[in-house]
Structure 1
Amino acid sequence: MRLRALLTLTVGVALAMGANAQVIQQGSMPPLDGQEGQGALPNRLAGQVGIIEALGNTVPTDLTFLNEEGAPVQLASILEDGRPLAIAFVYHSCPMLCSLVLDGVADAVAETDLDLGQDYQVLAVSMDPRDTPSRADSAKAKYARRGDLGDLDAFHLWTVGEEYESSVQRLADAVGFKYAYDVRTGEYAHSGALVLLSPEAKVTRYLYGINYAGRDFKLGLVEASEGTVGTAFDRFLITCYEYDEDAQSYSLQVLTLTKIGGALLMLLFGGLLAFYWRREVNRTPDGWDDARPAAA
């Protein structure tokens, strides 16, 4: 009887787990950012979400947004000082992904030794016209409490409202960021990524995901600025690294390092040869250098 009861309980647990797994597999879990349980977009949004890289494309800078105080501002206002810009697309009622993207940006800012405000700026622009400047300001206050981000005047959280809704769509189109509003869930389906712009508003690099390695973030900004930010060593590093599309990160260029190493060895050997050649030239026929002091 005990054995039969144990078998019955085991079968019941197995059936319950199987049923639960089937529910998850069928995607009946609550959607997240327009995605279903397994992370796949529903068919109604297929083809409307993703990133089509537009490297080298110039973004229109006359786009108008609302800053955290509710004042209209144009994109040109944070590019005219010659610093590169990192852009993230978010919205503040997002159930999870957008806060993770912003946290990832803040972590990258804190990790890099480039100075926010002095070397570059960050812009998180809302794709949801229902977001208000006060809501963006509340989100910014969260990052102000960290105390490790530097100049928060260069950490912008802009919204659009209904008046400037077309601005975020034009900006997204210019950089190839495709997002879609799901009327069934009231949420936006979108990807997690950072888009880096040069001071001339050209798209220079995409950093994907929600965690941005400090090295990749820094090298991307140095690349976007064409070497005008960072130290001389940073500008040297960008010649030794290249962006690996498969790994989606910067990796060492072995060929470049080999060339640099070969050039340094040639300089070293050339210097040694020159030293010994001059030494031989200065020798007298009796084998002593001309510079030898005369005997008293």
Structure 2
Amino acid sequence: MKPLHTSILILFVWGLSVLPVQADRMEKAPKSIEKLDVIEHLDTQLPLDLKFQDSSGKPVTLGDYFKKDRPVILSLNYSNCPMLCSLQLTALVRGLKELEWSADEQYDFVSVSIDPKETYQRANLTKQKYFKEYDRAGTAGGWHFLCGRQESIDQLADAMGVQYQYVAERQEYAHPAVLLVCTPDGRVSRYLYGINFPKQTLKLALVEASEGKIGSTVDRFLLFCFHYDADSGRYAPTARNIMKIGGFATVFILTVVLIPYWRGRKGRQVLETGDAQAHEVPQETRHFSTPEH
């Protein structure tokens, strides 16, 4: 066997022998976080009297951000999160930038830190980071980053159905990537999972949460055509509703467009036939009349 072929074969066999060792060295998730989950509490009223501190150090309640006129995107994060929170919030900002609607006008965003040691100064730095990424002037009033005591954090997490756990050996929090879209009066309307939030998903979720108070007639019509698919984490077309709309469109075209058209066409044919008969010279007249000299 040639030396080059021998070298390649040796590397191949070595690679196969190393793979199981690398797999064995993969760290397993701590047992304390294996059962973490999100238990959806749709249409549940959030505890709006919970007390927190905003990014300026001012005492606030959760209810201060539910203004009865627009939906709220609610998230549990923390500023020292090594990766997931940053990925999630960056993806959210990217999706919101594609909307024609703006924070502090059509919706608000509220992030509550799950770390009771987080200071309002640290929360303010996080707010400025994502507001800068959002890059839409005059909308700072729609971005809210809160911190608070453990008791308030736990009560809010329980109401949201979001489980999290502090992992002491890593000195970080384990938590799911999920956002809640809430109604203006503080009820849970929709859960959005993952680190990808397409424009259409955000838009329909906000229209749904606002109960039609924001969005155009077309947006509300699209909401009828689409349903939220929890498996994919986005809105997907509903075959049944599309079939209903198709049937309605067919009936509409038949009754409003085609039938009047057919009736009008038939009427014109009758009139044309009548006119032709009125101008037709009788056969007797044609056969026996002679021109005058």
What TM-score comes out, normalization by structure 2 length? Answer: 0.82
Provide the residue aligned with 1:53 in structure 2: 40
Equivalents in 2 of 1:24, 1:122: separation in Å? 41
Which amino acid in the other structure matches residue 126 of structure 2?
A
Could you tell me which runs of 5 or more consecutive residues in structure 1 were left unpaired when the two chains were aligned: 29-35, 289-296
Provide the residue aligned with 1:196 in structure 2: 181
Deviation at 1:18, TM superposition (A): 4.8
1:188–1:260 Cα change, 3 Å: same
Equivalents in 2 of 1:141, 1:18: separation in Å? 49
Which amino acid in the other structure matches residue 60 of structure 1?
P
User: What is the DSSP-based 3-state SS (H/G/I as helix, E as strand, rest coil) of the residue aligned with 2:151?
Assistant: helix
1:287–1:218 Cα change, 3 Å: same
Provide the residue aligned with 2:143 in structure 1: 155
Deviation at 1:273, TM superposition (A): 1.8
Provide the residue aligned with 1:114 in structure 2: 101
Query: Equivalent residues in 2 for 1:192-271 (5 A)?
Result: 192-271=177-256
Q: 1:70 aligns with which of 57, 65, 74?
A: 57
1:257–1:134 Cα change, 3 Å: same
Could you tell me which runs of 5 or more consecutive residues in structure 2 were left unpaired when the two chains were aligned: 276-293
Provide the residue aligned with 1:294 in structure 2: none
Deviation at 1:11, TM superposition (A): 6.1
1:127–1:174 Cα change, 3 Å: same
Deviation at 1:149, TM superposition (A): 4.1
1:137 aligns with 2:147: no
Provide the residue aligned with 1:292 in structure 2: none
Deviation at 1:12, TM superposition (A): 11
Equivalents in 2 of 1:191, 1:91: separation in Å? 12
Equivalents in 1 of 2:61, 2:131: separation in Å? 23
User: What is the DSSP-based 3-state SS (H/G/I as helix, E as strand, rest coil) of the residue aligned with 1:227?
Assistant: coil
1:185–1:20 Cα change, 3 Å: farther
Question: Residues 176-215 of structure 1, C-alpha deviation per residue, up to 9 Å, x if partnerless?
Answer: 1000111222111111111111112111111111111111
1:94–1:13 Cα change, 3 Å: farther
Question: Residues 82-130 of structure 1, C-alpha deviation per residue, up to 9 Å, x if partnerless?
Answer: 2111111111111111111111111121122222211111111100011
User: What is the DSSP-based 3-state SS (H/G/I as helix, E as strand, rest coil) of the residue aligned with 2:159?
Assistant: helix
Provide the residue aligned with 2:14 in structure 1: 14
Which amino acid in the other structure matches residue 268 of structure 1?
I
Task: Report how many residues are paired.
Answer: 272
- Return the index of the structure with the highest Cα Rg: 2
What TM-score comes out, normalization by structure 1 length? Answer: 0.82
Question: Residues 238-273 of structure 1, C-alpha deviation per residue, up to 9 Å, x if partnerless?
Answer: 111001122221111122122112212212211232
1:43 aligns with 2:31: yes
User: What is the DSSP-based 3-state SS (H/G/I as helix, E as strand, rest coil) of the residue aligned with 2:180?
Assistant: strand
Question: Percent same amino acid among aligned pairs?
Answer: 32
Which amino acid in the other structure matches residue 22 of structure 1?
V
Q: Tell me if the contact between 2:163 and 2:175 (Cα under 8 Å) persists in the aligned partners.
A: yes
Equivalents in 2 of 1:111, 1:8: separation in Å? 50
Provide the residue aligned with 1:26 in structure 2: 25
Provide the residue aligned with 2:279 in structure 1: none
1:194–1:9 Cα change, 3 Å: same
1:58–1:280 Cα change, 3 Å: same
Q: Tell me if the contact between 2:32 and 2:165 (Cα under 8 Å) persists in the aligned partners.
A: no
Which amino acid in the other structure matches residue 241 of structure 2?
T
Aligned residues: CA RMSD:
3.0
User: What is the DSSP-based 3-state SS (H/G/I as helix, E as strand, rest coil) of the residue aligned with 2:45?
Assistant: coil
